[in-house]
Copies of this chain bind each other. A is one copy, B any other.
Amino acid sequence: MTRDVFYPNMSPMIKKTTIINVGIAGATGLAGEELIKVLLRHPGARITHLCAKIDKPRHIAEIFPVLKERLDLICYQPNAKELASKCDLVFLALPHTVSMTMAPALLKAGKSVIDLSADYRLSDPRVYRKFYNVEHKDKKNLKRAVYGLCELNRNKIRSAGFIANPGCYPTAAILAIAPLAALNLVEPSSVIIDAKSGASGAGRKVSEALLFGEVNEDFKAYKVNVHQHMPEISQELSGLAGERVKVIFIPHLLPLERGILETIYAKKGKRLLSKKRDLHKLYKNFYKKEPFIRIKEEGEFPRLKDVSRTNFCDIAIKDEGDSIIIIAAIDNLLKGAAGQAVQNMNIMYNLPEHLGLL
């Protein structure tokens, strides 16, 4: 046998005519690396171009030895024209503020774009400026971007050419609270999100705070109620509820690599206090057709191990007097980033939603 069978591009099992040619900008970051791994297992997509902020073009297997013998591509310096010429769809796995310098040219060239940065998630550019400390540079496309939380926006995503892929914390939080928010069952200003994330949430940033010696055997809160994901959560929950939803949001750093678990507390609203409802059944029903949402049985609760390296979001709900406790868990790099991005691609291209994701 020869090695060539390894490259999915040459897999005999896929009709080449229907394959999507995809590019990844920001291929050397954690989300970019994860996208590569997911797409290598995707029978309907072929990676045709990689780029990232690097000194000179390098083979991707030189950057990620784990990809040796699996992907035979050079990673180039970013060039929107090159990307547009090689790809049908481009994933932007770039830092915020960089995506909005690259997206316009790709969109103008008629390419589909899925942006994993925060640049197009907040519909109000003033909120963006407040939380990211920079003026938004592409307000035109900001209006066009569809917030790609697959379970809630599937119809819009289907016909979209430009997706703002949700943040990791917001993905778990919004999915966890959506059934209650959509039916106005909780006090809109009572929601407390106690969030815990593994270290990969910070990407591949080289800083003292992320050294092994600092994270290992430690645990702490950070950006206490000032995290930039807070307005994203409020925006989407407010949209669902039709009224302003304000949340308290405290993220914590876990000494592990992957996963987000959020323990969420809310006070029942009048509607719910006056009329008892089976919340577990409500959740089961709300998400009954969703391939990637699993509602835990009563008395069972999510754990990171069950969602780690999957695209699933596990959710438990507990009715507790006049309070409600919801616990949700996802893999921050998959359902919270690269996995949901590919799920969005699958929806946009009318492919089975789980392709590449199981």
Instruction: State whether B265 touches A6 (Cβ < 8 A).
Output: no
Closest beta carbon of chain B to A53's beta carbon, Å: 14
Given A220-B303, A306-B66: A291 and B6 within 8 A (CB)?
A: yes
How far is B201's CA from A211's CA once the two chains are assembled, in angstroms? 13
- Tell whether A138 is near chain B: CB-to-CB under 8 Å: no
- Tell whether A17 is near chain B: CB-to-CB under 8 Å: no
Closest beta carbon of chain B to A107's beta carbon, Å: 28
Contacts of A318 in B (CB 8 A): 224-225
Cβ-closest chain B residue relative to A67: B306
Closest beta carbon of chain B to A157's beta carbon, Å: 13
Cβ-closest chain B residue relative to A250: B263
Q: Which of B213, B305, B308, B320 contacts A214 (CB 8 A)?
A: B305
Instruction: State whether B69 touches A312 (Cβ < 8 A).
Output: yes
How far is B65's CA from A312's CA once the two chains are assembled, in angstroms? 11
- Tell whether A257 is near chain B: CB-to-CB under 8 Å: yes
Closest beta carbon of chain B to A189's beta carbon, Å: 9
How far is B66's CA from A220's CA once the two chains are assembled, in angstroms? 14
A interface residue numbers (CB < 8 A to B)? 1-3, 5-6, 8, 13, 30, 40-41, 43, 65-66, 68-70, 192, 194, 196, 199-200, 204, 206-208, 210-222, 224-225, 248, 250, 252, 254-259, 261, 263, 265, 289, 291, 294, 296, 300-310, 312, 314, 318, 320, 323, 325, 327, 352-354, 358
